[in-house]
Structure 1
Amino acid sequence: MLYCRNNAPQTIPKGRQPMNYILLDLEWNQCPTGKQDENPALPFEIVEIGAIKLNDAREDIGHFSELIRPTLYTRLHFRTQEMLHIPAAELNRSRLFPEVFADFIAWCGEDYRFCTWGSMDLTELQRNIDYHHIENPLPLPLFFFDVQKLFSLLYEDGKSRKSLEYAVEYLKLEKPRVFHRAFDDTWYTALIMQKMNLELVKDYASVDYYRPPRSREEEIYMQFPRYSKFVSMPFTSKEEVMADKVVTATRCYQCGKMLRKKIRWFAGNSNSKVYYCLCICPSHGYLKGKIRLKKGADNCVFAVRTLKLVNEEEAAVIMEKQDAVRASRRKKKHR
């Protein structure tokens, strides 16, 4: 993977290459009386951290597992109770998040990369960090391995996102532990990661969006074997995002040529947070563009743009999508 700042491609410096992998899973509680009563600053309160440390040979070299006493949602949501089967008395005897998190970060050490099943854990970890007014010690940008995505790239179509239990069964691994407890899920994720051919997908690191780039200089450009990704700085509105020439630029990630658009950026529907375009590279053929708008802090909006070379059939899908959007607009106009 190439990681770039300010559109200057470079590989991640060797000094920053992780020596260890921290496989992390969190369990959290939510407001027991429903979403209408939740604290928007912390919809999910972490009640358990489970982690396994693997060295660069993916050998197990350490474990971390601890329950956390909740302070916001002190009564467990019924779904949390069903999944975790944690006695309330045991939670109430546990330490608070700031203490447990401090020990966890110290246990992680230096030169590591987080590995999670899916992309939610690091977001919710940082949300809990902010809620407790702890200085965020995680690197920025925060790269990690989404093992769920890597599993899909290796064994599925690269787009599907299967459950952890599905992956365990697919790889014919033993299931001596329960699912949906932090350390047990981490244990299964470690087995999957040890089983997979990581060399084939090690270039497909993910980047966490909880703290998006704060300025044009911090914007992130990532180049992968099959596509490129760009994460923008924040804007005040989606209209401002889509008017920005850097956000909407289309450059072939294989040859670097700036491409003219065969189909200009269009919204998937009237309320869409997703935009599409289609270009043609003279050397490499059709290139599909996709922009996803995401909400950041203080109601700002930032963009995640992916560009991917596609065949004629996939290009036709974009053309059909645009035709469908136009037809829908005409229909609404004549009502």
Structure 2
Amino acid sequence: MKFIVYDIEATCWEGRPPATVQETIEIGAYQVDSYGQVGPCFSRLIKPILHPQLSHFCRRLTHIEQPDINRAKDFTRVIRDFQNWIDVDGEPYTLAAWGKFDEAQLRRDCALHRLDDYWLDPSINLKLQYRELRKLPKKRGLAAAVRHEGFEWTGAQHRALDDAENTVKVFRKLLDMWRY
């Protein structure tokens, strides 16, 4: 059994968005085995089709520049690459993300692009489980959880691979406690 600890970034706007449809623009992930050993990573930008121009707010938040998005592959190609990366050895896997947004957004993108989303199962919501494990009165954001567990944040917030790397820190510390 291996775990795919991942994070996504999506199109975003300040205030009221021009549409309620967000699209994934970046995915970052690490493979973690059942002993907590961190394996290879996956990182790709994705070119959105509904709103190909990133908002100023989104560029500022994610530090993803428009020329990089313009050169990116579309969702269908990147997700096929991601699925192949996950399943390269045929070993069973469980996807793990901080919160419910990432899985829900990937399911919306699969629907938008008329792709099956079976590969998103099984998935675990680490944010929800973290709250339960640590008996917290409310959910805790990733940066706060990283600090609470005694780790330093590495990289930039709101970059998928950096967020996934920081999620891995918390994930590994509580490896034997997650329910999946």
Structure-1-length-normalised TM-score: 0.50
CA distance in 2 between counterparts of 1:168 and 1:20 reads 22
CA distance in 2 between counterparts of 1:78 and 1:89 reads 13
Counterpart for residue 127 of structure 1: 108
**Structure 1, unaligned runs of 5 or more:** 1-18, 206-335
Q: Relative CO higher for 1 or 2, CA cutoff 8 Å, sep ≥ 6?
A: 2
CA distance in 1 between counterparts of 2:131 and 2:146 reads 13
Alpha-carbon distance change, 90 to 112 in structure 1, aligned in 2, over 3 angstroms: same
Contact 2:6 2:30 (C-alpha < 8 Å) held by counterparts: yes
Listed one character per residue, the Cα deviations across residues 14-44 of structure 1 (whole Å, up to 9, x for unaligned) are xxxxx00001100000468944x41x5xx11
Counterpart for residue 73 of structure 1: 51
Counterpart for residue 59 of structure 1: 37
Higher CA-based Rg: 1
CA distance in 2 between counterparts of 1:202 and 1:74 reads 37
Listed one character per residue, the Cα deviations across residues 234-286 of structure 1 (whole Å, up to 9, x for unaligned) are xxxxxxxxxxxxxxxxxxxxxxxxxxxxxxxxxxxxxxxxxxxxxxxxxxxxx
CA distance in 1 between counterparts of 2:172 and 2:125 reads 14
More strand by share: 1
Identical pairs, percent = 25
Q: How far apart are 1:138 and its partner, in Å?
A: 2.1
Which of 95, 98, 119 matches 1:114? 95
Structure-2-length-normalised TM-score: 0.89
CA distance in 2 between counterparts of 1:80 and 1:31 reads 6
Match for 2:153: what amino acid? K
The list of structure 1 runs, each at least 4 consecutive aligned residues, that deviate by more than 6 angstroms after superposition, is: none
DSSP-derived class of the 1:54 partner: strand
Contact 1:32 1:76 (C-alpha < 8 Å) held by counterparts: no
Tell me, yes or no, if structure 1 residue 187 matches structure 2 residue 168. Answer: no
Counterpart for residue 5 of structure 2: 23
Which of 131, 135, 139 matches 1:152? 131
CA distance in 1 between counterparts of 2:59 and 2:9 reads 11
Alpha-carbon distance change, 71 to 187 in structure 1, aligned in 2, over 3 angstroms: same
RMSD of aligned residue pairs (Cα, Å): 1.9
Alpha-carbon distance change, 73 to 172 in structure 1, aligned in 2, over 3 angstroms: same
Pairs aligned (count): 177
Match for 1:148: what amino acid? K
Q: How far apart are 1:72 and its partner, in Å?
A: 1.0
More helix by share: 2
Structure 2 counterparts to residues 1-335 of structure 1, below 5 A: 19-30=1-12, 34-35=16-17, 37-38=18-19, 43-109=21-87, 110=90, 111-138=92-119, 142-157=121-136, 159-196=137-174, 198-199=175-176, 201-203=177-179, 205=180
